[in-house]
Structure formats: C-alpha cells, structure tokens
Chain A
Amino acid sequence: MPDSTASRVSLTLASSLESVDQVERTAEDFAARAGFDEDTVPNIAMAVREAAVNAVLHGNAYDPKKHITVSFEANSDALVIRVADQGAGLDPGTIPDPLAPENILRGSGRGVFLIRAFMDEVHFRQLHPGTELTLIKHRAPAQPAA
C-alpha cells in the first residue's frame, strides 16, 4: 500500500553528476512509493533529473563550495519536489523556446521544457543567491467504483 499521507525526504548534495544520479534514483523511488503509476514515475524522475542538472551545471557550475538541496514531499493531493542551487539565479523569462524554428537544431536548452512537459506545475523562486524550482505532480482523480 503506497504511503499517500504526508512524507518527506531532504537531500543536501555536492555539485556533481553523481548527485544528479542520486537525485534521479531518489525521485524514482519516492514517486513509486507515493503511488504514482509506472508510466508517470519515469517522467517525474526525468523532470527531477533535469532540474538537478540545471542546479549543478548552470546554477552552481560544479563549484565544490556550493551545494544543491532537494526535498520530496508527498501528500494526499500531490507530489511536491523542490530543487535549489546557490548560483547566480535563473530568470525563466530568458530561456529560449526550444520549439522555435531558430532553436530546434540547438544542441542544448531543452531541460526546462521537459520539466514543464512532465510536471503539472513548475515554479521558479529567486533565493539571492540561487534559484529554487518547485515541481508539482497532482495525483490523478480516483476512479469511481464500477
């Protein structure tokens, strides 16, 4: 029986690719335990991975003195994941649209787009210094009994 009541996990990690992998695995485990289905869990894990990549690569720029913090929280309505870095800050309004014809053949710039594609809500908050992304996946409404 998945635990759909309040539960929470927090991680503080170095700015490394190993941390990204750890965050992805934690997201996958947490979403599965929270009761999300096998089609949704990989999408949540990918969105969280992309957020962690942004935090490590673009936010903290692999700076060993900086950390990322990631928290996972599940309640009866949704899964809420927060990913924060200590970087210069990211203005989501400056992110180019990767679907625009002039950007479609770019070799990068699809991370935030995929996060938005796979999550129901994505919020940016400036931490001065740093950026916090909040990713929310709502639980599907319960199916009426047959």
Chain B
Amino acid sequence: MSMKVSTRQVDGITILDLSGRITLGEGSVTLRDSIRDVLAKGSKKILLNLGDVSYIDSSGIGELVSAFTSVRNAGGELKLLNLTKKVHDLLQITKLYTVFDIKDDEATAVAAFAA
C-alpha cells in the first residue's frame, strides 16, 4: 500500500494527514512533493499527522528529516503529530526524537506554533 496525503488548514496551520507507508520510492517522493507544494503556496507552519502511517523505513525517516530542514530553511516550522509506537521507537533509536517537536494532541500542536 502506498502513501496518501490529504491537506487541511486549521488556524493558519497546514496539516498534512499522511496514511500508508513512507518508504523508498513512492511514499518518500509523495511526502517530498507535498512539502514542496505547501512551501510553494507560502505556508510555513506545517503539522505532519502520522497517526495512520503504518510503516516507515530508513528512507522515510530521511524524508521526514529532509522535510524538517526544508521547512526550517524556508523560515518555517514543522511539527509531528500522533506517532505510532513503531515510528516513535524508530525516532528514539535514531536519536531524532529530540530533533522534532512531537505532539500527541492536534489542538495542542496547533497552539504550539509561533504566532
């Protein structure tokens, strides 16, 4: 199963709801293209909802890191929402858990973006 992305706006924050697998190939490319499109539209506050991401490999982890640096380099903020246990564990193992700002509640996450 490949990855799907749907985009919505909440209080000026762009939320990307991701579902499926973020792996080498289609999933990673879809995520990269989605982030590029959001930045191109001028949105710089991005929340990635990973609650329905069933699987992520090292390529997908790398793509999350690239998304983080792309948004930051554009002067924006990227946060992660609703990590599954598997994704949580992978970010712990790779020491990325402290790099990302990770939330488990959407309202809290939206409120945490700088005004």
Contact = CB atoms under 8 A, between A and B. Distances in A.
A57 interface: yes
A9 interface: no
A85 interface: no
Of A107, A110, A113, chain B has the most CB atoms within 10 Å of the CB of A107
Contacts of B66: 107
A4 to B, nearest CB: 26
A107 B57 contact: no
A50 to B, nearest CB: 6
Contacts of B24: 17, 20, 53, 57
Contacts of A104: 95-96, 99
Interface string A84-113: 000000000000001100001111111101
A106 B62 contact: yes
A46 interface: yes
Contacts of B59: 53, 108
Contacts of A109: 62
Given A20-B24, A42-B86, A117-B93, A106 B58 contact: no
Interface residues of A, number: 21
| Interface size class, chain B | 20 to 34
A105 B68 contact: yes
Given A17-B24, A57-B24, A114-B93, A46 B65 contact: no
A49 interface: yes
B63 interface: yes
Interface string B30-43: 00000000000000
A9 B99 CA distance: 41
A5 B24 CA distance: 34
B95 A99 contact: yes
Q: Which 9 A-B pairs have the closest CB atoms?
A: A107-B66, A110-B58, A107-B62, A111-B58, A108-B62, A17-B25, A99-B95, A117-B93, A114-B58
Interface of B: 23-25, 57-59, 61-63, 65-66, 68-69, 86, 90, 93-96, 99
13 contacts: A17-B25, A20-B24, A42-B86, A53-B24, A53-B57, A53-B58, A104-B95, A105-B68, A105-B69, A107-B69, A110-B61, A110-B62, A113-B94
Interface of A: 17, 20, 42, 46, 49-50, 53, 57, 98-99, 104-111, 113-114, 117
